[in-house]
């Protein structure tokens, strides 16, 4: 079959925009946590559940079957449908009147977003060859932090001017317009068109995909490494607006501006450089795809410690920026490693399995653990309870470093087996 030709940069731009909306809609609840907590009378544990496990449970549950369909059906149309669903569920979150209703709305957002990334990873891998795949996926992954930036800054401003309910409407509805643009302007590529190796046309069984993944020690370890790194980023990131408001006295708009720039710019730059650096060094030794996140993740722990314990807000933000920058290096290499370990007919499902593990550990347990610890420590530390709850991140960061190292020890052999 002939290759599908289209401007690669445009495809990457549109899919990155979709991923940006993915994270705007996912993280908007974070900047709105304090007014929602006051209005609906919620605890930190409930906030951790809403911003983490409630979303992650359906996100990972629906991710596998949707990704299985994406390895067989039109991937672009699956992304279009998913974007429409999660944007709608975000919009109706502005109408809730109780914790349970908001919980159901967040579950709906999770169901929709389950079909976003795995098909997109597969499409990008068909438009970009292996030697450029890490960089392309790094650009796509910056959508995480662009989404955080826009969600925090725009969400904070709208919330201050019009309240949290209007913010949900304003953030959710534009995603439906983007879904139409994606449907009419992006072409579905031929599977495997950018790979040097021939791609089989027959569909692998699910057991074949699971075997290809879990026989690979490097995949198991990289998924665990990414998961424990995400535990730290979600656990702290989802409560950082509350931390700045409670400990440093910021209002919601200022917290949005500040964290939007710190997390958006720092995380976006780190995500891009993580993929780009890994691709550059991997030309000499493929294990750099795993050494880069291992080294950067470990290095990011010290500035984070300074960020949460200093009383100087400017020093705290500078150190938080550096920590976010370094800890963001892991995502694109982890996705690229996963895509490289399987053939083109398995890629969407493989990404879904990676994100299942990553989000169960990171998004599911990170915010919930921090919120629970904060509630337990409140009688002792009061408004400073989040500072001490954040210390669990040093444990998760150490585990992530270990798992990336173990993945690098097996990667060369697993690549040979995959081919």
Q: What is the pLDDT of residue 300?
A: 94
- Token pair 């702290």: residue: 236
Token readout for 176 is 């439906």
Q: What is the pLDDT of residue 237?
A: 83
144 with 210: CB under 8 angstroms? no
240 Cβ contact partners less than 8 Å away, ≥ 6 residues apart: 30, 259, 263, 320
Q: Rounded to the nearest 5 degrees, what angle is found at the Cα of 241, between the Cα atoms of 370 and 18?
A: 95
Q: What is the pLDDT of residue 194?
A: 67
Residue 233: strand, helix, or coil: helix
Domain ranges in the chain are 8-190+205-418
Q: What is the pLDDT of residue 200?
A: 52
Phi and psi torsions of 332, nearest 5°? -60, -45
Q: What is the pLDDT of residue 197?
A: 46
Selected from 3.30.750.24, 1.10.3720.10, 3.40.50.10860, 1.20.1250.20, the CATH number assigned to the domain covering 8-190+205-418 reads 1.20.1250.20
Question: Chain centroid to CA 191: how far?
Answer: 25
Q: What is the pLDDT of residue 297?
A: 92
Distance CA 307, CA 45 (A): 23
Which of 197, 134, 120 lies closest to 418 in space, CA to CA?
197
Residue 188: strand, helix, or coil: coil
Q: What is the pLDDT of residue 137?
A: 86
Exposure pattern of 372-382 as b/e (b: 16+ CB <10 Å)?
bbbbebbeeee
Mean pLDDT by 10 residues, the chain (419 residues): 71 94 85 88 84 72 81 90 94 92 88 85 86 84 86 86 93 93 91 60 68 85 95 88 89 82 89 90 91 94 95 94 94 89 78 86 88 92 92 94 95 79
30 Cβ contact partners less than 8 Å away, ≥ 6 residues apart: 51, 151, 152, 237, 238, 239, 240, 241
Q: Rounded to the nearest 5 degrees, what angle is found at the Cα of 289, between the Cα atoms of 292 and 219?
A: 120
């Amino acid at each position: 079959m002939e290759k599908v030709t289209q401007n690669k940069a445009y495809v990457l731009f549109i899919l990155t925009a979709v991923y940006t909306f993915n994270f705007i809609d996912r993280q908007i609840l974070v900047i709105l946590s304090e007014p929602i907590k006051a209005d609906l009378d919620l605890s930190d544990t409930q906030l951790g559940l809403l911003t983490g496990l409630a979303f992650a449970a359906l996100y990972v549950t629906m991710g596998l079957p949707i990704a299985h369909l994406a390895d067989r059906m039109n991937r672009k149309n699956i992304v279009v449908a998913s974007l429409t669903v999660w944007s709608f569920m975000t919009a109706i979150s502005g109408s809730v009147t109780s914790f349970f209703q908001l919980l159901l709305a967040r579950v709906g957002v999770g169901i929709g977003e389950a079909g976003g990334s795995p098909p997109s990873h597969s499409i990008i891998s068909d438009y970009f060859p292996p030697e450029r795949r890490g960089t392309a996926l790094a650009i796509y992954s910056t959508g995480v932090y662009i989404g955080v930036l826009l969600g925090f800054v725009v969400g904070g401003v709208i919330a201050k001017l019009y309240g949290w309910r209007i913010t949900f409407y304003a953030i959710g509805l534009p995603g439906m317009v983007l879904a139409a643009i994606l449907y009419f302007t992006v072409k579905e590529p031929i599977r495997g068109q950018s790979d040097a190796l021939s791609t089989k046309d027959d569909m692998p069984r699910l057991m074949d995909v699971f075997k290809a993944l879990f026989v690979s020690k490097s995949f198991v370890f990289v998924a665990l490494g990414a998961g424990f790194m995400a535990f730290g980023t979600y656990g702290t990131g989802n409560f950082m607006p509350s931390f700045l408001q409670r400990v440093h006295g910021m209002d919601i708009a200022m917290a949005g501006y500040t964290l939007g720039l710190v997390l958006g710019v720092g995380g976006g730059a780190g995500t891009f450089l993580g993929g780009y650096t890994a691709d550059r060094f991997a030309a000499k030794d493929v294990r750099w795809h795993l050494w880069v996140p291992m080294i950067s993740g470990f290095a990011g722990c010290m500035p984070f410690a300074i960020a949460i314990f200093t009383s100087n807000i400017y020093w705290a933000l500078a150190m938080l920026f550096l920590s976010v920058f370094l800890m963001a290096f892991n995502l694109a290499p982890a996705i690229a490693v996963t895509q490289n370990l399987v053939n083109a007919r398995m890629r969407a499902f493989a990404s879904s399995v990676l994100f299942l593990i990553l989000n169960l550990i990171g998004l599911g347990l990170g915010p919930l653990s921090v919120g629970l610890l904060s509630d337990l420590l409140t009688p002792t530390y009061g408004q400073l309870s989040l500072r001490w709850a954040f210390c669990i991140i040093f444990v998760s960061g150490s585990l992530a470093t270990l798992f990336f190292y173990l993945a690098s020890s097996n990667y060369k052999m697993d690549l040979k087996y995959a081919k």
